[in-house]
A and B are shown apart, each in its own frame.
Chain A
Amino acid sequence: MKPITIVLADDHQVVRQGLRALLEHEPDFGVVGETGNGLEAIGLVEQLRPRILVVDFGMPGLDGVSVTQQVHRRCPETKVVMLSMHHNEAYVHAAFSKGAHAYVLKDSSADDLIQAIRAALAGRRWLSPPLSETGLRAYAEKTKGGALNLYEILTERERQVLHLIAEGEKNTEIARRLGISPRTIEKHRATLMSKLKARDVPALVRVAIQHSMPPGGD
């Protein structure tokens, strides 16, 4: 038996046949199982414990990313090589973040796949050109949240209410000054607490002070 055991998961049988032929051409590679179904793929991996799982990104039912996630959790010794038609760092990011070791574009050369498998076996990450680690890092950076200024997401009305609350006005007075109903003020107050992630009125007042604005302006 060949030392590098491989399981193939792709919903297109033609693709699987092509892949099997391509891989078995390598002397030390042996395809021990194949399936067109994500759920079956997880079962096969658990049963056969292969060194490598080659999985297609876009399978109906359980997709490649989900299969990767499950396999990574249940059989961490099996390295996952993701096949994908998506030339986009977002997909790579998704695959890698769930535990894939290699991301291979379907329209890249056959060599790329062999390289990718060998890199994965060696514990290195691999991705098809033109995708690059640099592009991936840039993308990951963009997905990081937190740059949001919470005050900015308030509507004009909410800002007015916030500043009147900060002045210590009661709902009825705020309602009177803005010409809207006290119930609406009550709603705005709840929205403000939620948007500004404030637990109490002092927290609202702090935000208002940081963004002092002439009250009542429209």
Chain B
Amino acid sequence: MVAPLRVLIVEDQTNDVELLVHALHKQGFDPQWERVETEADCLAKLDPSLDLIIADHDVPQFSALRTLDLLKERGLDIPFIIVSGTTDEGTAAVAMKAGARDFILKDNLTRLSLVVERELREAKQHRDRGTLAAPGEVLDAFFCGSPAGMAVLDSDLRFMQINQTLAKINGASVRDHLGKTVREVLPKLAPTLEPLVRRALESGQTISSVEVSGEVPTQPGVVRHWIVSYFPIPRAAGSRIDVGVVVVEITERKQAEEALRASEERFRELTENIHEVFWMSDLETNQILYVSPAYEKVWGRTCQSVYDNPMSFLDGIHPEDRDGTLKALKVQKKHGRFQSEYRVIRPDGSTSWIFDRGFPIRNAAGELVRVAGIAEDITERKRAEKSLALFRALIDHTTDSIEVVDPETGRFLDVNERACRDHGYSREEFLQLSVRDVEAMIDLFSEDAWRTIVENIRTQGSQIVEGAHRRKDGSVFPVEINTTYIRLDRDYLVAVVRDISGRKRAEVERDGLFKRVKQTRDRLRLTSLWLVEAQEAERRRIARELHDEIGQTLMALKMSLHLSEQEPATAKQSIGKAQRCVDDLLARVRRISLDLRPAMLDDLGLLPALLWHFERFSATTAVHVDFQHSGLENRRFPHGIETAIYRVVQEALTNVSRHAAVTSATVRVWADLGTIGAQIADLGKGFDSTAALSTAISSGLSGMRERVGLLGGEFVIESAPGRGTRLNMSLPVDGGEAK
């Protein structure tokens, strides 16, 4: 069922009216309409119950705009629609400004229904809003249920009305308030409240939103806070004025504010006094929300600069560290976490190491919103770490073991790399040990021994001893231990342990060398003596032979020659005798010459010379020589070597014949490409070879050894009393030459 539509149509053309009505019908309305075409008619027909006014724009006696003015004068809010045969936008705009709801062209009435429906709907909404409950009921409900405390005071400041909320604030029931003065209900607050109320009364003005603090009787000692407003309520009946009271309790808010203020105060104190830079930035905008004043000191730039441009903190960062920090910022953008270590270069050129960290802050919904961070100056720590690392590296790479020992237990508290290497333990293993496990010289298993040692070091401050340490594999090496007693947080023994195997070896070697030098010098002295002696002996022998043998024969020769001259008769006989003397002389000279040096050694070499010598030797001494040789045939050696072998063999055989008391001796001579060796052995009396070498001069042993030594050879005498003698020599030969 369609509701009837009450329409007033302002139109001079009845045809047009019919068209309009038809259009309305057609579009589903049920119009109850009246037509007017003059202002007077229109005024007569204006009625609040009208649903709609449709006015032709071009009615000659009337104007749509005039109709609108009329509606305004009458205070009527009736939708007003203008229809027009012409399209005149200027007119339409003026009409709309004047209050027309719409503007429709006569040749396009299809829009009409839409416009009408819209206007009806809006009008209805308008009306609904205006339909309120009865004023008294609502106000009462509002008064009673308001979360704000409310009351009405009369001019004597007695409570005439009060709502539950205020009664509760004041700590008494509604009933206990009614008829009582403010002073009676709130004695402590009255001095504050009364002047305000009076001012409202006297001035007739609203005293609004005054903050009041104080105590209510039921809660003595508890200061509460309120916002109070007072406004005068004139009574229509007379000159009497009441005062309306609105009270809002703000104690909790106040406390929260106070707590916040205190917290902010503490925060500021903290951030403004610490050396670290505290900062907070908005994750969305990157804006710096807060940066503590330390920023100015650390960066050497104003806080304002970083508020103005959040990325300006990067300008102070060492170029090499910027990339890393930018990366950290990307992480921050994603996860709200930030960590970077960088150098800050201040405008004055000074530099600091900064350790900067940021932590995510989420809102109640759990979304990342901000990042709070702290940037610390870690320059000192860095320096300390570096110097500590340097120190440790120094300790670890020193050439001595360094061991830190607990003086109480003897346990190792710390050891350096070198100590591990020298002792063959890993660091972990080493730290499980005590001094007892590595000390190889002193038995430290008795508590007393250890305590005595520690006590000694403690009283002397430090101590250097030589000792021996045992490695993991059980081997022992000599050490020099320099121990110092150190008192820090507790007592320590610091031992610098040096492996002195090398030094020990060197010492032994040096002693050996020294001994050898000394021996050589002694031997040289003996040899010189022997040489002088031998030379003298040789001269003596030659002198004697010359005198005894040559001299005697020459004398005989002289006598024979003399006789041949004196006694012609026996001259032939004498000359024959002289000739025999000459033959004898020749033989003697040859023998002496051979004894001095056999020509054969030079002419034919070692083997013939030795063979010849053995023959002569056996013939004169009756000591048989068993000669065994190899590698000598058809071979010549350098003169020095041939002479040395020949002379040693000769000398050794002479010794055999003189001292060994044997009838035979064995001579072995062998040669290969690099060496020639000889051995003269007998099974005779023997002697103490060591003693003989150091003392005997006459035996010629030292002479032999010198001869061999000069040629870089070896000379070994093996003899002991009663066990025969074996004399060994060998000489290096450079290839040798074939004979």
A residues adjacent to B (C-beta < 8 A): 57-58, 63, 65, 86, 88, 90-91, 93-94, 97, 139, 142-150, 152-153, 155-157, 191, 194-195, 197
Q: Are A148 and B630 in contact (CB under 8 A)?
A: yes
Known: A153-B677, A153-B679, A194-B675. A93 touches B668 (CB 8 A): no
Of the residues A63, A142, A153, A155, contact of B603 by C-beta under 8 Å? A63
A143 to B627, CA, bound (A): 10
A147 to B629, CA, bound (A): 6
A94 to B672, CA, bound (A): 22
Of the residues B612, B632, B677, contact of A195 by C-beta under 8 Å? B677
Q: Are A143 and B608 in contact (CB under 8 A)?
A: yes
Q: Are B633 and A155 in contact (CB under 8 A)?
A: no
Q: Are B629 and A94 in contact (CB under 8 A)?
A: no
A88-B612, A91-B603, A147-B630 known; 5 new pairs, CB 8 Å cut-off, are: A91-B600, A143-B632, A143-B633, A145-B631, A149-B668
Of the residues B599, B604, B611, B679, contact of A142 by C-beta under 8 Å? B611
A144 to B677, CA, bound (A): 17
A residues near B681, Cβ cutoff 8 Å? 152
Residue of B nearest to A152 (CB): B668
A residues near B608, Cβ cutoff 8 Å? 88, 90-91, 93-94, 143
Residue of A nearest to B631 (CB): A145
B residues near A150, Cβ cutoff 8 Å? 670
Q: Is B607 part of the contact surface with A, judged by Cβ < 8 Å?
A: yes
A113 to B679, CA, bound (A): 43
Q: Is B718 part of the contact surface with A, judged by Cβ < 8 Å?
A: yes
Known: A91-B604, A94-B604, A153-B677. A139 touches B611 (CB 8 A): yes
CB distance from A119 to the nearest CB of B (A): 24
A57 to B680, CA, bound (A): 33
CB distance from A39 to the nearest CB of B (A): 18
Interface residues of B in 439-476 (CB under 8 A from A): none
A residues near B612, Cβ cutoff 8 Å? 88, 90
A97 to B716, CA, bound (A): 36
A63 to B597, CA, bound (A): 18
Residue of A nearest to B679 (CB): A153
Residue of B nearest to A147 (CB): B628
Q: Is B130 part of the contact surface with A, judged by Cβ < 8 Å?
A: no
Q: Is B674 part of the contact surface with A, judged by Cβ < 8 Å?
A: yes
A residues near B607, Cβ cutoff 8 Å? 143
* Candidate in A88, A142, A145, A155 with the most chain B CB atoms within 10 angstroms: A145
A91 to B598, CA, bound (A): 13
Of the residues A63, A65, A143, A153, contact of B670 by C-beta under 8 Å? A153
A155 to B629, CA, bound (A): 17
Interface residues of B in 620-642 (CB under 8 A from A): 627-634
Q: Are A148 and B628 in contact (CB under 8 A)?
A: yes
Q: Is B213 part of the contact surface with A, judged by Cβ < 8 Å?
A: no
Q: Is B728 part of the contact surface with A, judged by Cβ < 8 Å?
A: yes
Q: Are B604 and A90 in contact (CB under 8 A)?
A: yes
CB distance from B184 to the nearest CB of A (A): 118
Q: Are A152 and B629 in contact (CB under 8 A)?
A: no
Those 6 A-B pairs whose CB atoms lie nearest each other, nearest first: A90-B608, A145-B630, A148-B628, A148-B630, A145-B629, A147-B628
Q: Are A144 and B603 in contact (CB under 8 A)?
A: no
Q: Are A155 and B632 in contact (CB under 8 A)?
A: no
Residue of A nearest to B714 (CB): A191
A36 to B677, CA, bound (A): 39
CB distance from A190 to the nearest CB of B (A): 11
Q: Are A194 and B672 in contact (CB under 8 A)?
A: yes
A16 to B674, CA, bound (A): 44
B residues near A86, Cβ cutoff 8 Å? 599-600, 603
Residue of A nearest to B681 (CB): A152
Residue of B nearest to A93 (CB): B608
Q: Please list 20 pairs of residues, one from A and one from B, whose beta carbons are closer than 8 Å in the complex, sorted by A's number.
A: A58-B603, A65-B603, A86-B600, A88-B600, A94-B608, A144-B633, A147-B628, A147-B630, A150-B670, A152-B668, A152-B679, A153-B668, A153-B677, A153-B679, A155-B716, A157-B716, A191-B730, A194-B672, A194-B674, A195-B677
Q: Are B728 and A153 in contact (CB under 8 A)?
A: yes
Q: Are B630 and A146 in contact (CB under 8 A)?
A: yes
B residues near A197, Cβ cutoff 8 Å? 672
A187 to B728, CA, bound (A): 16
Residue of A nearest to B629 (CB): A145
Residue of A nearest to B718 (CB): A156
B residues near A191, Cβ cutoff 8 Å? 730
A residues near B679, Cβ cutoff 8 Å? 152-153
A142 to B600, CA, bound (A): 16
Known: A143-B611, A153-B679. A148 touches B629 (CB 8 A): yes
A residues near B674, Cβ cutoff 8 Å? 194
B residues near A147, Cβ cutoff 8 Å? 628-630
A57 to B679, CA, bound (A): 32
A91 to B631, CA, bound (A): 20
A152 to B627, CA, bound (A): 13
Q: Are B672 and A90 in contact (CB under 8 A)?
A: no
A144 to B607, CA, bound (A): 10
A91 to B599, CA, bound (A): 11
Residue of A nearest to B607 (CB): A143
CB distance from B632 to the nearest CB of A (A): 6
Of the residues B668, B716, B718, B726, contact of A148 by C-beta under 8 Å? B668
B residues near A157, Cβ cutoff 8 Å? 716
Of the residues B600, B629, B632, B716, contact of A90 by C-beta under 8 Å? B600
A residues near B627, Cβ cutoff 8 Å? 142
Interface string of B664-693 (1 = CB under 8 A from A): 001010101011010101000000000000
Residue of B nearest to A145 (CB): B630
A144 to B681, CA, bound (A): 21
CB distance from B515 to the nearest CB of A (A): 14
Q: Are A149 and B628 in contact (CB under 8 A)?
A: yes
B residues near A144, Cβ cutoff 8 Å? 633
Residue of A nearest to B614 (CB): A142
Of the residues A90, A152, A155, contact of B611 by C-beta under 8 Å? A90
CB distance from A165 to the nearest CB of B (A): 19
Q: Are A148 and B603 in contact (CB under 8 A)?
A: no
A residues near B716, Cβ cutoff 8 Å? 155, 157
Q: Are A155 and B600 in contact (CB under 8 A)?
A: no
Known: A90-B612, A143-B607, A146-B630. A155 touches B728 (CB 8 A): yes
Residue of A nearest to B669 (CB): A148
A142 to B681, CA, bound (A): 19
Q: Are B668 and A145 in contact (CB under 8 A)?
A: no
A residues near B666, Cβ cutoff 8 Å? 152
A145 to B672, CA, bound (A): 12
Residue of B nearest to A154 (CB): B728
